[in-house]
Amino acid sequence: MSKLDPRIHEVLDGDLPPERLPPELRAVVLRLERAAGLLRAGLAPASVAGRVLAALHRPEPSRGRRVLQWLTERHVITIAMRPVWSLALAAVLAAVVLVPDHGSAPLLGAQEGIARFVGHFPGARSVDVVGPFTDWHTGVVPLRDDDNDGVWSAVVVLPAGTHEYMFVVDGERWVVDPLAGRYVSDGFGRQNALLIVRPVGR
């Protein structure tokens, strides 16, 4: 903001006649007097101060309107967590996602049944059951030994009927189930265990 010439102040205060001013300062005085007249008449254009005062006198919105305004506006929410709590939350989420639900029963069709395979193989690192239902491939139906007592087991849904099978220990040793009770020749001089699966509807 530029400073007014002190002589303009003297003219406005009535201490100096306007005729004593040079023409450019008299024009400034004229503009100032015209603006003062507009202010006195209430015809001045809206200013920043006027808008601020109008906003201050505006009634405060109700609580419901404030809540509605807050809900319709976009907000940035930042959640800060300590590293320990972050790890704990990650562990809980992993447990929920990764731990299988052993309590839920498998869905069975009318011509399907449940087969339970159990074998005693202490010291084994892995045990699979293979048969025509796995195309005699390992890794399809792995058995588990959750309490490390050497007893491996698995529950599988199979079509109703008879199924040949064998256990494969540690990926290479093929073992016939000694508890099967029924056996059939494999055509190569050995025997496969035989399992009868009854349909769930019976």
What residues pair up with 114 in beta bridges, in sequence order? 157
C-alpha–C-alpha distance, residues 37 and 33, integer Å: 6
Rounded to the nearest 10 degrees, how much is the dihedral formed by the CA atoms of 149, 151, 155, 156?
Answer: 130
User: Token digits for 130?
Assistant: 């293979």
pLDDT at position 47 is 54
- Predicted local confidence at residue 27, as pLDDT: 83
Residue 54's pLDDT is 55
- The domains of the chain, with CATH numbers, are 6-56 (no CATH), 112-197 (2.60.40.10)
**Tens digit of pLDDT per residue, the chain (202 long)?**
457 788 877 877 788 888 888 888 888 878 878 877 766 665 545 555 555 555 555 566 677 777 777 777 776 666 665 665 566 666 656 655 555 555 455 566 678 888 899 999 999 999 999 999 999 999 999 999 999 999 999 998 989 999 999 999 999 999 999 888 899 998 888 899 999 998 876 5
Q: Are 117 and 143 in contact (CB under 8 A)?
A: yes
- Output the pLDDT for position 62: 75
Residue 36 belongs to what H/E stretch? helix 23-41
| % helix, strand, coil for the chain, step of 5 | 35, 25, 45
Q: Give phi and psi for 42, each to the nearest 5.
A: 75, 25
d(CA 70, CA 106): 48
**Cα–Cα dist 54/132, whole Å:** 86
Give the per-residue pLDDT at 51.
Answer: 56
d(CA 182, CA 176): 11
Residue 15 and residue 202: Cα distance in Å, rounded?
A: 120
161 φ/ψ angles, rounded to the nearest 5 degrees: 135, -165
Return the pLDDT at 94.
63
pLDDT given at position 76: 67
pLDDT of the residue at 107: 64
| 3-state secondary structure (DSSP) of residue 94 | helix
pLDDT at 23: 85
